[in-house]
Amino acid sequence: MKSILLTSIPKYDLVAPPAAIGILQGVAKDHNLETAVFDFNLYLNKNLTEEEWQELDNWCVFIKHKISKKLQQKICRLWDTGISEKLPAGCEFLLISIFSYWSLYVARLLIKHENNKIRPYKLIVGGNGVVSKFPDTDEYFVDWNKKHNYIEHLIVGDGETPVSEIFSNGKVEYNNDNIDSFPFPSYSGYDLTDYEEKKVYITGSRGCVRKCTFCDIYNIWPKFRFRSARSLVDEIKQHYELHGVTRFDFTDSLINGSVSNFYKFNMLLAEEKAKDSNLKDIVYLGQAICRPKHQMPESHYEAMYHAGCKQLTIGIESFSNSVRDHMKKKFSDKDIEYHLEQCKYWDIPNVFLMITGYPTETIEDHKKNLSDIEKYKDYAKLGIIEMIRWGTTMHLIPDTPITSKESVEELGLKGRNHNSINFDPESQYYWYSEKNKDLTLRERIRRRLELHEKSVECGYPQPRVRGELQTLLEMAKLIKD
């Protein structure tokens, strides 16, 4: 029997088994392969010191573009140890999932390391990160691999069909335009108690109905596609039956990308829970967008409540209308207020994701952020805004609308020492705008700290703030008077 080891690498949260490995393990099992899984992200977290983990984190998010030779060697040693422990007999494939562009440096280190070995297996590498470029060389991952020929099977885009073709010697097993045709993910081999939450990820759609200026999702999935409500409910029931899991976290950019399908899903899940008392504890959480009342009337929030929606992560990004308009978020203050009113009535908690120091942000926009923290503080006290995340400060991602040639010229964006924002490694954080000269890195950090203090004063929970503030300290070292 053919066999495969599926691995995941930093950087991503430690809350649950990685969705990509679950998805691809489902494909492997659909082709009767023996499978094993290895969460190297979790393994490193357990085996590095707190200082080493922070050094690795700063490297992953490009605050630092090098790590010590000692840490590199330790990472490779731990990788070899973990691989040898997990490798199934006669393993033919080692799959490495590159979750995002924040996985690029670790991926490069490990793939080069793999090619210094005599290995019995072929590499399969894919994930969102493979469409990105290395900040320190300005070279795309795909071009880097083409130059060195490190990887036998490099997959760009959805993995199900290409992996199926590898396993079945070129036969196409699935229909990319109909993601209901893909097999359900498999999380066998994971000990769910190793993670912060006993939950699994579920994917209801791919792509996004928005094209926000700071986001690269469009590069990965240019077309928005979604699964049927029936398929989603069936998958939830299967994971419950196999693993006893009652908490499901959607990986979608927006679970309400298709408002009509999202409503159908909620109605169907609520009906299934009403029919079968064993399903009563099933809940879900996911990312969504604020929509106006005519798109999501009150009945939609009621359906979410009965289906078990326990948390919505909303990319508010800024309380300033003008900043959101430039981002192309396409919702108003009135829409935010309506959304919060409905969530309060139906007891649906929210996580607000925010961006500090967007290139067009003026001091007046910043003051609007401060005033709306005060304005919505009662929702924080009630737990309707159960978390607010201000992140670090705005960093510029290559190949997004904000870093397009037209936008760079419009905003006068420059990197350190007046370099191109795409080539200078530090420019993703250490950038400035010739059209908004007051918004220096020093000022962005100052505003971020002021927002933190105001959020604390008004009682907003910020459970992940320690890591964000540590990153700000590293960013502050980039400032040179």
Q: What is the pLDDT of residue 424?
A: 59
pLDDT in tens, 374-403: 999 999 999 999 999 999 999 888 889 999
pLDDT of the residue at 214: 93
According to the model, what pLDDT value does residue 422 have?
59
Structure confidence by residue, pLDDT tens digits, 44-64:
999 999 999 999 999 998 888
- CA quadruple 177, 181, 182, 186: dihedral sign: positive
Structure confidence at residue 480 (pLDDT)? 65
* pLDDT band of 426, cuts 50, 70, 90: low
HSE, side-chain direction, 13 A CA sphere, residue 70: 5
Asked if residue 224 lies in contact with residue 271, where contact means CB atoms within 8 angstroms, the answer is: no
Distance separating alpha carbons of residues 48 and 205, to the nearest angstrom: 35
Answer yes or no: is pLDDT of 290 > 80. yes
Whether a cis peptide bond, with omega within 30° of 0, leads into 69 is no
Exposure pattern of 440-465 as b/e (b: 16+ CB <10 Å)? bbebbbebbeebbebbeebebbbeeb
Predicted confidence band of residue 367 (pLDDT cuts 50, 70, 90): very high
Alpha helices (runs of H) in 31-103, residue ranges in sequence order: 40-47, 50-60, 69-86
Arithmetic mean of pLDDT over the chain: 94
Comparison of pLDDT for 220 and 91, the residue scoring more: 91
pLDDT, mean of residues 364-374: 98
Q: How confident is the model at residue 39 (pLDDT cuts 50, 70, 90)?
A: very high
State what percent of residues in the chain have pLDDT above 90.
83
Confidence of residue 156 (pLDDT cuts 50, 70, 90): very high
Q: What is the pLDDT of residue 398?
A: 83
Q: Please give the pLDDT value at position 463.
A: 87
User: What mean pLDDT comes out for the span 401-407?
Assistant: 93
Indicate whether 435 pLDDT > 70. yes
Torsion angle of alpha carbons 177, 181, 187, 189, nearest 10°?
A: -110
Distances in Å between the alpha carbon of 61 and those of 55, 195, 326? 10, 22, 25
Task: For residues 301-318, give the mean pLDDT.
Answer: 98
Does residue 196 carry a pLDDT above 80?
Answer: yes
Confidence class for position 448, pLDDT limits 50, 70, 90: very high
Neighbours of 75 (CB within 10 A): 23
Among candidate residues 193, 195, 196, 220, the one with its CA nearest the CA of residue 206: 220
Question: Does position 481 have pLDDT exceeding 60, yes or no?
Answer: no
Residue 419: the pLDDT is: 67
* Residue 225's pLDDT band (cuts 50, 70, 90): very high
Give the confidence band of 476 by pLDDT, cuts at 50, 70, 90.
confident
pLDDT at position 425 over 70: no
Mean pLDDT along residues 14-41: 96
- The predicted model gives 238-250 an average pLDDT of 96
Residue 84 pLDDT greater than 60, yes or no: yes
pLDDT at residue 62, as a whole number: 84
Provide the percentage of residues in the chain whose pLDDT is more than 70: 98
* Token pair belonging to 24: 């691809």
pLDDT above 60 for 423:
no
pLDDT tens profile 254-282 = 999 999 999 999 999 999 999 999 999 99
Average pLDDT over residues 186-197: 94
